[in-house]
Amino acid sequence: MSFSPANTISTLVDLLLSMHKEVAIKQKVKELEEELVQAGLWNQHEPRWVHQFQEATCGQQKNFFEWLQFVYLPNLVSGNTTHSYASKQVYIAPQAVYFLGEDADRTNLLRLLVELDALLD
């Protein structure tokens, strides 16, 4: 195996881009958490159902924002890829639109979710 400066540089660039993307995702998650608090959607206590969470029942959960706060965002930040939504592109913004309906007060929250989706694309 021979040393190739081009391959080494390419690997370093990929690593730096990956690190930058990870930092950007964590920052966007922090912004989302702040917006959830400001919008009164942040829960102080984790619901019981979180420990029995299964993706198949996600659509049946009463509160999309509980799922976002206690399941999706923590798994995203921790890099947990055990859930199938972590291993494939799942856009969160369209799901939020479904739950938000025509609520104009949630425009900033939706914008942040669209931005997060773009970072994960």
CATH of the domain at 81: 1.20.1440
Task: Give the model confidence (pLDDT) of 98-119 as tens digits.
Answer: 888 777 678 899 999 999 999 9
Task: Give the model confidence (pLDDT) of 76-101 as tens digits.
Answer: 888 765 555 555 677 899 988 888 87
pLDDT score of 35: 93
Task: Give the model confidence (pLDDT) of 4-27 as tens digits.
Answer: 776 787 787 777 777 888 889 999
* Nearby residues of 35 by Cβ (< 8 Å), 6 or more positions away: 108, 109, 112
Task: Give the model confidence (pLDDT) of 27-74 as tens digits.
Answer: 999 999 999 999 888 999 988 887 775 554 555 445 888 889 998 899
The average confidence (pLDDT) of the chain is 80
pLDDT score of 2: 61
Tell me the C-alpha distance between 83 and 50, whole Å: 13
Domain of residue 67 covers 5-120
Q: Sort 69 into a burial class: Cβ within 10 Å, 0-12 / 13-18 / 19+.
A: buried
Phi-psi region of 40 (alpha: psi -120 to 50; beta: other; left: phi over 0): left
What is the enclosing helix (H) or strand (E) of 14?
A: helix 5-38
Domain count, the chain: 1
Predicted TM-score of the model (pTM)? 0.71
